[in-house]
Amino acid sequence: METKPNRLLSLDAFRGLTIAGMILVNNPGSWSNIYPPLQHAKWNGWTATDLVFPFFLFIVGVALPFSMAKRREPDSWQWKALPHIIARTLTLFLLGMSMYGFPNFRLIGPYVLLIAGLQLAFANIPLKHSVTQAPRRWQPTVGGLLILAGGVYLVLDWSYFCDSGLRVPGVLQRIAVCYFAASVVFIAGGLRGAAVAAVVLLVGYAWIGANVTAPAGYTADVTGSEGLLHSWVDDQFLAGHLYRERPDPEGLLSTLGAIATTLLGVLTGGWLRGSSDGHVKAIGIFVVGNVCLLCGMSLDWIVPINKKIWTSSYVIITAGLALQVLGTCYALIDLRRWRKWCSPLLVFGSNAIVVFIASSLTAKMLHRWKIAEDGPSVGRWIYQNLFTSWAEPRLASLCYALAYVTFWLILMIPLYRKRIFIKV
């Protein structure tokens, strides 16, 4: 299999594994009968499911030094990529909002217009000075008009959005924020800046958790008392647009920890782009990964490992585990060149955001469409008739999820074989 120079197939495979994990844990046959390993920890502690999202953010960070290198020039590269970064950030955020609003087209109308406008308006921004392709003149103009139309639509229909209760924090929204923050830090300070920012965030966020509390008299039905401050912060800015479970697992304050996860990925990407021998790189990844695991487990006594509020110990231990998985993929795929086994992972990893969005929207419709007016939803019917008919409920729920992952793998194979990679 031929690859582009400096392209890490191991990173694509790791991304594919993570996306497959996302689809698996988000689509059980029944939310009342989730297979135990696919459940999130109720509060402190972690399960395999709690690794999926930090792994993806870590991967976003690892990819940054590679993507930036394509645009970098010796003298004047730093802020040339910023318009592209802003456009991608807004697109990811708006895609997340559209996913939550779908299929209410009145609600997602402005987001669709804004996404289309961004893609047209920023389509021809050169990523390098060597790019000589002349932009199509109509694209920026039409893109600007669509952005204006989307903005006006949103303002004029603002009361509908406020009354909708549409959740603002979310998976793609957090990816967008973390991508933007990590990109700006890397542009401004390089790998050294990323290291300093990661340490400041980890220490500062841990200090906030230990020393800052919600105002006296504030009450909320939170899972754990440590989440009261997080819930209060979210209520100040996003009241009425939060997840039903509090604190919101993608809330504002815990995003500090998520950004740190992404920055640790940036440092890993910088290490992999270095000039060291591949075997030295692999050993370094495993050594640092083990150090992170030891530190994360030790910090658990002081700052409990907690996914829902993304504590500093959670950042460190999940980074350690991500390094172990990435190191294993790197050693097997890029060094030993054992690649046939990872083909399904590359299929998912090459169109990660697309398959995540498509599978999520399809799952939503499967649970809305009815077999009959008074009958079960299509998804429920499939679960009951194809899986619970021969397996106990939790096993049936797992098999439904595995079948759903396989279904999307089959759908994505033609895109991969035709080298159609849809980038956001």
User: In sequence order, what DSSP letters do the residues of 379-422 get, joined into one string?
Assistant: HHHHHHHHTTTTS-HHHHHHHHHHHHHHHHHHHHHHHHHTT---
Distance CA 254, CA 234 (A): 10
Q: How many residues does the structure list for the chain?
A: 424
- pLDDT exceeds 50 at position 1: no
306: β partners:
44, 45
Q: Looking at residue 124, what is its pLDDT?
A: 58
Cβ 38 vs Cβ 28: under 8 Å: yes
User: pLDDT class for 289, splitting at 50, 70, 90?
Assistant: very high
Which residue is listed with tokens 């401004």?
188
CA 92 vs. chain centroid, Å, equals: 10
- Residue partners of 305: CB distance under 8 A and separation at least 6: 44, 45, 46, 296, 311, 313, 314, 317
- pLDDT exceeds 50 at position 268: yes
Residues 326 and 424 in one domain: no
Least confident of 16-20, 136-140, 165-169, 263-267: 136-140
Final residue before a domain boundary, out of 299, 317, 335: 335
Q: Looking at residue 211, what is its pLDDT?
A: 92
Final residue before a domain boundary, out of 283, 311, 335: 335
User: pLDDT class for 126, splitting at 50, 70, 90?
Assistant: very low
Residues 292 and 350 in one domain: no
Residues 65 and 77 in one domain: yes
Final residue before a domain boundary, out of 286, 303, 335: 335
Q: Looking at residue 78, what is its pLDDT?
A: 60
Q: What is the pTM of this model?
A: 0.92
User: pLDDT class for 130, splitting at 50, 70, 90?
Assistant: very low
Distance CA 309, CA 43 (A): 9
Which domain, by its residues, includes 229? 40-335
- Residue partners of 130: CB distance under 8 A and separation at least 6: none
- pLDDT exceeds 90 at position 136: no
Residues 423 and 315 in one domain: no
